[in-house]
Amino acid sequence: SAVGRGPEVPFRSEAYRISATARGKELRLTLSALDPAAAAAATPPQDLVFRFGMSGSFRLCPAAELPRHAHLRFLTRESPPRALCFVDPRRFGSWRLGDAWQPERGPCVVSEYQAFRGNVLKNLDDRAFDKPICEVLLNQKYFNGIGNYLRAEILYRLKIPPFEKARTVLEALKDQEQERRKKDPSLTLSKKVKLKQENPDLLELCHSVPMEVIMAEKQLLDPEHSDNYAAFKNWLQCYLVPGMSSLRDRSGRTIWFQGEPGPMAPKGQRPRKTPRKKSPQLKADPEAPAPKVTPRALKQHRRAAANPPKSEEEEEEKEEEADRPRKGRARRRRKAAAAPALPEPEVPLSVRRSRRTSARRGKGAAPAV
């Protein structure tokens, strides 16, 4: 598209095939011409590697009805034509030419589970594991594919405080594995699988929880259909769930959890509770007298109507701005202090002293004159 930030794709073909391979948070598309002669000569295969950011996705739709923010389009030859679009409203996603995965990303938690597990356990001496477990779960060098909502769900299921030291949590897994082997080295593979399913550890949930979403993706991951997105919200047990607590980690991301945050929780922050849903209001009694509307309540109602509640995504995006010091109030106080004071009526000396004493002791306002 004209406003897309990605590079131009130097691939042109009258008929071509698109295939895809996923690894962690990246997706590789391969465009290959169907005509063998064209593929061997002027149209070699072209690879593109995508990152999706917070809002990137692919959508297949009629070419005449392109969605907004469709930054890259692949057209079909049928009549009427359709378009496979890379849609990214927030433009945090990107694509690049070539077939190489990002070198700093580790094995995929879904498709390369054994390599992923080994990569974590053999590198526990890395200084990266000095951080809280909630922050390490976003480190794509070791947890390629885990994002903000997945880390909250994984830690919640295991009742692990998000700000527990990562090395403390993960070294316990090595000890558990060694104890299992010592206790019963003759366990069959089927019994081992059953034990893991009944008592999964952190690294196993890093594989199985994303798989739950992948297996039900048609039902869970389509925000365009409210029923489907409601199914995804019902699947969530912790992330954005009413009644859960939240804190911002040292990278500025919000982690949802239940219970104590852990010993490495950021100082100076208090956990914020996600508000519970209000219970349905009872039907008003037609014979009951109408409630008296005070000027203050009327003003609050008008303010609420002018500023409707923001969506969950908007709230998350505004977190950093909302937590900053409110300089406007300080400016208003300075302006008020600089404004010329209106002449006051003469007040007896005894009353002025009484006012100063009351204000100094914090006992309330002085008596009216």
Q: What is the pLDDT of residues 198-227, one digit of tens each?
A: 689 999 999 999 999 888 766 555 555 556
Residue 369 has pLDDT above 70, yes or no: no
Helix (H/G/I), strand (E/B), else coil: 122: coil
* Orientation angle between helical segments 148-158 and 202-215, nearest 10 degrees: 120
Distance, CA of 239 to CA of 237 (rounded, Å): 6
pTM of the model: 0.68
Q: What are phi and psi of 346, to 5 degrees?
A: -65, 130
53 band by pLDDT with thresholds 50, 70 and 90: confident
Average predicted confidence (pLDDT) for the chain:
78
The one-letter amino acid code at 53 reads G
> Domain 113-273 maps to which CATH number in 3.40.1360.10, 1.20.140.10, 1.10.8.50, 1.10.3720.10?
1.10.8.50
Average pLDDT of the residues in 177-183? 62
Mean pLDDT of the region 108-137: 96
Do residues 170 and 121 lie in contact, with contact meaning Cβ atoms separated by under 8 Å? yes
Lowest-confidence region among 79-93, 155-169, 200-214, 273-287: 273-287
Residue 176: its pLDDT value, please? 74
Give residue 44's pLDDT: 86
pLDDT in tens, 20-30: 999 999 999 99
Instruction: Determine the CATH number of domain 16-97.
Output: 3.20.190.10
| Residue 266, phi then psi, degrees to nearest 5 | -60, 135
Look at 322 and 192; give whichever has higher pLDDT: 192
SS3 12: coil
pLDDT level of residue 262 (50, 70, 90 thresholds): very high
Print burial letters for 209-220: b (CB count within 10 Å at least 16), e (below 16).
Answer: bbeebeeeeeeb
pLDDT of residue 207: 96
Whether the CB-CB separation of 133 and 169 falls below 8 Å is answered with: yes
β-strands 26-33, 272-273 pairing? unpaired
Residue 47, CB-side half-sphere exposure with 13 Å CA sphere: 11
Find the farthest-apart pair of alpha carbons in the chain and give their distance in angstroms, rounded. Answer: 104
| pLDDT of 325 higher than 50 | no
- Neighbouring CB atoms inside 10 A of 29's CB total 21
Q: In the chain, what percentage of residues exceed pLDDT 90? A: 47
pLDDT for residue 173 is more than 60: yes
* Residues facing residue 94 across a β-bridge: 51
Position 308 pLDDT exceeds 90:
no
Q: What is the pLDDT of residue 55?
A: 84
Q: What average pLDDT does the segment 53-72 reach? A: 90
Tokens of 358: 């009351």
**Sequence-ordered strand ranges (E) for the chain:** 16-23, 26-33, 46-51, 57-62, 70-75, 82-87, 94-97, 245-248, 254-257, 272-273
Q: Are 155 and 133 in contact (CB under 8 A)?
A: yes
Spans of all domains in the chain:
16-97, 113-273
* The predicted structure's pLDDT at residue 2: 81
Cα angle 333-339-342, degrees, rounded to a multiple of 5: 120
pLDDT of 367 over the 50 cut: no
